[in-house]
Amino acid sequence: MSAEPGGGGGVLVLVGTPLGNREDLSPRARRTLLEADLLLCEDTRSPQRLLPDQPLPQRVSCFVGNEHERVGLMLERLSQGQRVAFVSEAGLPVWSDPGRTLVLAAVAAGHEVDVIPGPTAGTCALALSGFVAEGARFLGFIPRSGKSRAAVLDVLEAEDGAAVLYEAGNRTPGLLADLAKREALAGRPVVVARELTKRHQEILRGSAAELARAHREALRGEVTVVVGGRASLEGGAGGAEVGGEEKADPLEARARAVLDRMLDGSLKPRARAKALAELTGLDVRELYDRLRDARS
């Protein structure tokens, strides 16, 4: 591979690794781990667990607390034309894991960045859920408490499509209880995926209220929660096909709502901008400026 101009020939490779089943390690990922000049690892023990009988390159820890400190080492090696691989503890780097700082620094210095595909708990859980993938939203780890947690729950209430969340097993009953307390969320279909790809994998299905009642004790292991969107209450699992009938696509529903707001002549630019911002997630001031410019 050739690096971008000024990169010195070095390549940063993000390596996707198994969530918990070693057999999911791809041949490309295996080869990259063995042939890299340097392995930056969220947990330096992870590569050895994947390849216990293989001699590995130099491993250096690189986690949330020290990722910025490792940028200098990475850039030094890349400038020497070396191949630096980064692996998170499990899954695909950057996806609710470290790695973004490394990517930005490598790109800024003109080095090539590559990725070896691997599993993510979020996409696996979404696939298992049966919810429509188009329009789904990944929210990562939900805040533990306070206004930031309430803000995420507000987002879930307004979301037309499915939403994917990460949560620790011991805190999952609390999340289910919080969903069940909200009238707009209590009836939503929810899928709880525990210990994905591992020996004790478990998939729980039901409404938020049903799951909250049934699972009040802490769950073991890592958990991914998929919450059906508003469309799921109108037409099956998050807009999935149920009983052979295709239900409302959340993207189509949102597009129609946006069109309705644009054609509503009773709305002034400021009110229209606010309504569009709520539907699209775009900045209300930017929308207002664009609407005002369009009228002039």
Q: What mean pLDDT, rounded, does the chain reach? A: 86
pLDDT of residue 249: 47
pLDDT tens figures, 37-75: 999 999 999 999 999 999 999 999 999 999 999 999 999
Confidence of residue 232 (pLDDT cuts 50, 70, 90): confident
Is-above-0.85 flag for pTM? Answer: no
Percent of the chain with pLDDT over 70: 82
Amino acid making up residue 91: G
| Banded pLDDT at 242 (limits 50, 70, 90) | very low
- Establish if 263 belongs to a structural domain: yes
Last residue of a domain, one of 71, 89, 118: 118
What is the per-residue pLDDT for 120? 96
Judged on CB neighbours under 10 Å (0-12, 13-18, 19+), 237 is buried
Q: What mean pLDDT is predicted for residues 182-205?
A: 95
Q: In this predicted structure, what is the pLDDT of residue 290?
A: 78
Rounded distance between C-alpha atoms, residue 70 and residue 113, angstroms:
16
Q: Does the pLDDT value for residue 233 go beyond 50? A: yes
φ, ψ for residue 189, nearest 5 deg: -70, 140
pLDDT of residue 266: 61
174 and 74 assigned to the same domain: no
| pLDDT beyond 80 at 82 | yes
Q: Is 10 a residue whose pLDDT tops 60?
A: yes
| Over residues 134-162, mean pLDDT | 92
Question: Six-digit token pair at 73?
Answer: 């080492």
Question: Is 243 a member of any domain?
Answer: no
> What pLDDT digit, counting tens, does each position of 251-264 carry?
555 555 555 556 66
CA distance 174 to 180: 10
242 in a structural domain = no
Q: Can you give the residue range of the structural domain that contains 146?
A: 122-233
Same domain, 126 and 225: yes
- Compute the distance between CA of residue 122 and CA of residue 120 in angstroms, rounded to an integer: 5
Q: What is the per-residue pLDDT for 6? A: 42
Query: Are residues 24 and 50 both part of a single domain?
Result: yes
Range name among 160-164, 221-225, 289-293 with the lowest pLDDT average: 289-293
Q: Report the number of distinct structural domains present in the chain.
A: 3
β-sheet bridge partners, residue 38: 58, 84
Indicate whether 113 and 37 sit together in one domain: yes
Q: State mean pLDDT over 166-184.
A: 95
